Amino acid sequence: MSDPTNAPTSEPFDVPAQKLPRHIAVIMDGNGRWAQQQGLPRIEGHRRGVASVRRTTEECSRLGIEQLTLYCLSSENWKRPPEELDFLMHLLQQYMIEERGTIMRQNVRVAIIGRREGLPEDVLQEIDRTVEMSRDNTGLRLCLAINYGGRAELADAVRRIARQVKAGTLQPEELTEETLASHLYTAGMPDLDLMIRTAGEMRVSNFLLWQVSYAEIWVTDLGWPDFDEAQLHAAIRSFASRDRRFGGLTD
């Protein structure tokens, strides 16, 4: 599950295209702890984390990864101090504005998953503008999970299905795994192949609970501000070396 050394590598990236994950998700953990270790305020860790977002997005785009999903704000993060939440909202709004040129140059398509309720209106306006501006781009899909919770996603999906059953447009016996998947926030997106977590924690933290079922998991002890291209390459190399059986057997 984890890289025992977490040592960056300078070796050329040599994973063949057919062994690359289509969809990578990242739990960007450890910003606050990183800042405290540096003797800096917690919010400085979030600021430095934006550079890691930029590096990771650009490298995934360069490698031809189909989708990168980043866990930006969980539904549980609202328990944090108000000043930290305000700063996170400011960073998100600033990112949406300042990165538009790069997003368009690199042909990146931005998508958002999570609940809109509770997000400031001015932040939602900038998110919507960036999503709409990049809608027709055909490169990497950058999916940002904002005010997201895996259990909430499942509850929302079941609620929509229940309405269809009540209306008579869907019969209970017609309900399949595919039906439920088509009602998730990630409907139409590729299956998750690789989940990366920084800062050494061995849990998925209510992130993509349905989608992670058969994903490979890779954990590094480094905090998110220290995550770079070498770490991304190490995670992808680990993914490419694994025997993915999906519950079956191999020869």
Amino acid 79: pLDDT: 81
Rounded distance, CA 13 to CA 49, Å? 24
Residue 47 lies in a domain: yes
Amino acid 251: pLDDT: 54
Identity at 88, one-letter amino acid code: L
Residue 125 lies in a domain: yes
Flag whether the pTM goes above 0.75. yes
Which residue in 96, 99, 110, 114 sits closest to 140, CA to CA? Answer: 110
Residue 60 lies in a domain: yes
SS3 assignment, position 188: coil
Rounded distance, CA 243 to CA 241, Å? 7
- 86: containing domain: 20-149+190-241
Spatial neighbors of 66 by CB under 8 A, at least 6 apart, are 22, 23, 140, 141, 190
Rounded distance, CA 164 to CA 225, Å? 44
Token reading at 133: 């501006």
Residues 14-70: tens digit of each pLDDT: 899 999 999 999 999 999 899 999 999 988 999 999 999 999 999 999 999 999 999
Phi, psi of 31 (to 5 degrees): -60, -50
Amino acid 244: pLDDT: 75
Element (H, E) at 219: strand 216-219
Residue 1 lies in a domain: no
Residue 29 lies in a domain: yes
CA torsion through residues 3, 221, 48, 24, sign: positive
Amino acid 144: pLDDT: 98
Q: Residue by residue, what is the 3-state secondary structure of 89-124?
A: HHHHHHHHHHCHHHHHHCCCEEEEECCCCCCCHHHH
Contact 25, 72 (CB under 8 A): no
**How many structural domains compose the chain?**
1
Q: Which residues are catalytic?
A: 29, 77
Amino acid 188: pLDDT: 96
Q: List for the chain the helix, strand, coil content (%; round to 5).
A: 45, 15, 40
Rounded distance, CA 148 to CA 157, Å? 13
SS3 assignment, position 69: strand
Rounded distance, CA 101 to CA 104, Å? 5
Residue 247 lies in a domain: no
Contact 72, 80 (CB under 8 A): no
Spell out, as residue ranges, where the chain has pLDDT lower than 70.
Answer: 1-12, 245-251
- The CATH number linked to 226 is 3.40.1180.10
Residue 222 lies in a domain: yes
Residue 104 lies in a domain: yes
